[in-house]
A and B are shown apart, each in its own frame.
Chain A
């Protein structure tokens, strides 16, 4: 075992990337944006889903793709530590997508992908935040690279290195106006896509509440009063 560890320590970043990609080749995750909704499906042995308190006005969800059960639990425990530390300094309400994304990027990079970490990890994450009139999605790769989900196609495919299967998935969306698809229709479509793959799939969908009229945010006035003092 010790020998294996030593060998892994010696793995270069490039080798880790190759190994991680091969681990992820069997995995598949998809996030699709519809009409004021998001639907995500993940092929994973154990779905790691974490929802923040909806009473705070913001629903934050983290979904994990691939990775072992232990790795997912470790990640979840670290997120709990973050929430606890944030709560004691500020408030649980301040746990937002960008903060969690920032934290998880560092966590994945430091713990699994740096030259000092023992082994690469196939864990990839999907972060979704639903606020009063916002719906934000971000995906985080195994090496800590975060990508906001906002491309024009409205589709993000995660894992799945098989080009043929990727093409097949893309074909399902051809000629469809995703921006006009309600959540029910989108769920049916994503359900259909999951049949291309073997294994257990977990699916989640989020609806965005109707926009409320609100005045635009102002830029902060430059510390009024300090100059006058």
Chain B
């Protein structure tokens, strides 16, 4: 500790033995799914990309069993929560289900009672309050282990696409162009950022999403490989939420693999 204070300066916090013991005993009392890493979780790559008139949300299909096992390669990680919004999460499935069910029911209940869709800002704020209940999970060693969502939406007032990125303990901010989470996100965020200027239309955004998913699948064991399992891609625009058909996604994948150079070596 003294060494740390020497290195980082006097601002480095001193953690007394008692405090340290408390933290350790707290860790011991965490649910088994968090401490032993044997819970069912989606290691995942999920992300959202904006284009001029909407937003594309994509998610891989893998659900892991423990550290290295694969429980399923057909899970859908993008979830519509209202006419104009969707969330995509990475992490423990119990937390993800909790978030999805709560978000869907609150959006439906609000619309049924008051005849209006819950505003996108309202949805983001409510999602934040749901995550705050899981604050203790930040003690886990990787933040996407917990159930970290990305909220993508098309805001009708004024007409514009919006993406919100969240932290495990509820902090959130609005992203300018893209946001994502999961173990494969770090491998692909630069791929997406690199082509930001090329994304104008819905078609461009879908192609970039498929490209990023290919990269993600070859760089992380926790993510399904696009060569064998097609990712789920949805778009949200002025007309609302709609899934992109598998034919279109497969067409994009094949196009990327058949290009000269680029990803053709993966074919």
Which residues does A use to contact B, with CB under 8 Å?
Answer: 56-58, 88-91, 93-94, 96, 98-99, 102, 132, 214-215, 217-221, 223-226, 228-229
From known contacts A57-B158, A229-B75, A229-B76, infer whether A220 and B125 are also in contact, taking CB-CB under 8 Å: no
- Of B116-124, B203-211, B221-229, B246-254, the segment with at least 4 beta carbons within 8 Å of chain A is B116-124
Q: Are B119 and A218 in contact (CB under 8 A)?
A: no
Shortest CB–CB separation between residue B218 and chain A, in angstroms?
25
Q: In the bound complex, how far is the Cα of B82 from the Cα of A96, in angstroms?
A: 18
User: Is B7 interfacial (CB 8 A cutoff)?
Assistant: no
Q: Are A224 and B243 in contact (CB under 8 A)?
A: yes
Contacts of A93 in B (CB 8 A): 119, 121-122, 157
Pairs A–B under 8 Å by Cβ, sample size 13: A57-B158, A89-B126, A90-B123, A91-B119, A91-B125, A93-B122, A93-B157, A94-B116, A218-B240, A219-B83, A223-B80, A223-B100, A225-B80
Q: Are A217 and B240 in contact (CB under 8 A)?
A: yes
Q: Is the interface of A mostly helix, strand, loop or mixed?
A: loop
Residue of B74, B114, B121, B241 touching A99 (CB-CB under 8 A)? B114
Shortest CB–CB separation between residue A163 and chain B, in angstroms?
35
Taking CB as reference atom, which chain A residue is nearest B129?
A: A89
Q: Are B79 and A223 in contact (CB under 8 A)?
A: yes
Residue of B115, B157, B239 touching A57 (CB-CB under 8 A)? B157
Q: Are B110 and A218 in contact (CB under 8 A)?
A: no
User: Is B179 interfacial (CB 8 A cutoff)?
Assistant: no
Q: Are B82 and A225 in contact (CB under 8 A)?
A: no
Contacts of B263 in A (CB 8 A): none
Contacts of A88 in B (CB 8 A): 125
Closest 5 CB pairs of A and B: A90-B122, A225-B76, A57-B157, A91-B121, A91-B122
